Structure formats: C-alpha cells, structure tokens
Amino acid sequence: MRRSSIGDSFELMLDTICNSFGGIVLITILLAVLTRDGITSREVELRKLRENLEVVAYREKLMHELQGLEEDIEELQKSQGDLPDEFVARVDEYCQLEQRSREIRSRIDDLLQRERNLMISEQELEKALKDLRTEIRNKERELETKAAELASAKARSSFSIVLPRERLRLESGPGLILRYDRMYVWHIYDSRGEPIGLNVADFFIVTEEHDGIYVKPRPERGIPIVPENAGAIVKRLRECRAGTTLDIGLWPDTFDSWPIFRKAVVEGGFQYRLLLMREDGKLVDRGGTDSHIQ
C-alpha cells in the first residue's frame, strides 16, 4: 500500500515538471520571434533614416558648391569691368580668330569633299578614256584589216598578166577552171582521153536551159593551188589522159595563185591556153577546138 502511494506522487511531480518546462520553452520561442521581428523593422527604419540623411547631406553639399560658384561668377563679372581695353580687344580678337578658324575648317571640309568628288570623277574619266583607247585600237585594227582587204581587192582588180604569143598546138588537153585559189577539172575523160561528161564531183549544176547547162565549181572541192600541191596537180592532169595542152579559165580571185600553178604545170611538161575572166564572167564550152596555145 505504501509503495503505490509513493509511485503516484512521483508521477504527479513529473507531470508538473514537464508542464512547467514546456511552458518555459513556449514562452522562450514566443519571445525570440517577437524580438526578431522588432529588430528587423528597426533595421529597416534605421536604413531609411540613414539614406535620408545622406540625401540631405549631398543636397547641402551641392547647395554649398552652387553658392560658391555663384560667388565666383559675381567676382569674375566685377573684375571684368576693371579689365583694360587692350585685354578686351584681345579677347574680341581671339573670338574673331575662333570664328575665322571655324570658317576655315568648314572651308577645308568643303574642299576635301570636292577633292574626293574630283578623284571619283577623275577615276571615272580615266576608265572612260581607257575604254575609248581600247575602242580606238579595235577600230584601228579593223581599219587596218579593211585597208588590207581593200588593197588586196585593188591589187586583184589591177592585176595584169603578160600572155605569151599564141602558137599552133599539136594536141588537145583537158579544160580547167581556176577559182577560189583551186584547180577544177571541168570534164570526166575516158581511157582514151575523150570527154564523156561533166565532172559533177567538183561542180554543181545551177540551171539547165535550152542553150546549155550552167555550172559553178564547189568551193570545198578541187585541189588547192599551193606549192606543196604541185605534184598532186600534175598527177591529176595526167590521170585525164587528154594530152598536155590545157585550156584554162582564170578568174580574178585566183590571180595571186597563178604563178604557183603555172610553174607546176610547165615543170610537169604541159602547155596551156589561158582565158582571163571577169568576176561575173561566164565561160562557155560549145564542144569546139582551137589550134592555138600560148
């Protein structure tokens, strides 16, 4: 019985102690929170107060400086009235020089801009002059070419050949056309050297009329009259087997090549009768024969 009584009293004492301790802790926490909020709000107030004080101090400083500047200006204005006339004249002269300097700088800027514009214009003129010189050189080359062509045409038109005297020939030979600086054999010949028809391989027919067949040599055919073709020319004439006497029609566009052709056929043992033709001339083969050669 006594033990139970002691135990109950001890438990009651522990409950009282725990409750007291909990109350103390709660009060302590409440005081800490209240104290912290108070400190924070106080710090904010102090910070704002300090900023206000700094602003007021800075404004007073500026006001003091402004007052000092105003006093200096007043003193300067007072002292300016006491300056000698020569100094005032110097100041005016300096101001005029400053104005003149600004005008000169402006003029220099204008001149520099004009110089830049002139440089651009000069470059454009140089380019135009270069293009004009190139065009002139091209025109000069064209003129030289035209002059050479004119001289050649004039030489052809004034070309003359001294023909030897005609003499009797003993045999006939193939008929030839010399045009475009080429040799064309007019007919086809059989094994006996007799003409059996037109050489359509080297000529094309223009028209066929009642009085005959009009033909022209093909510019891409024939044998070119150049020194290295002398052997080919003589070989082609011998293949005709029509004799060593040639009937030749020579057109103005082949006058320059005639000496080359004449040398080749003469050295090949041929004789010839030469007919000089105009540029628009026509040579007619009526099947007759002539007993003269040159």
What pLDDT is recorded for position 83? 55
For residues 156 and 255, is the Cβ–Cβ distance under 8 A?
A: yes
Q: Is 287 left (phi over 0), alpha (psi -120 to 50) or beta?
A: left
pTM to 2 decimals?
A: 0.42
What pLDDT is recorded for position 153? 64
What pLDDT is recorded for position 286? 53
What pLDDT is recorded for position 189? 84
What pLDDT is recorded for position 184? 92
> What residues in the chain have per-residue pLDDT under 70?
1-10, 13, 33-42, 77-88, 152-172, 211-212, 281, 283-294
Burial of 156 (0-12, 13-18, 19+ CB in 10 A): middle
What pLDDT is recorded for position 292? 45
What pLDDT is recorded for position 163? 52
Which residues, in sequence order, are CB contacts of 165 under 8 Å at separation 6+? 294
Separation of alpha carbons 203 and 186, rounded Å:
8
Separation of alpha carbons 251 and 279, rounded Å:
6
Q: What is the pLDDT of residues 112-155, one digit of tens each?
A: 888 888 888 788 888 888 888 888 888 888 888 887 777 766 65
As a whole number of Å, the CA-based R_g of the chain is 64
What pLDDT is recorded for position 77? 66
To which residue do tokens 């206000």 refer? Answer: 52
Structure tokens at 47: 């910070």
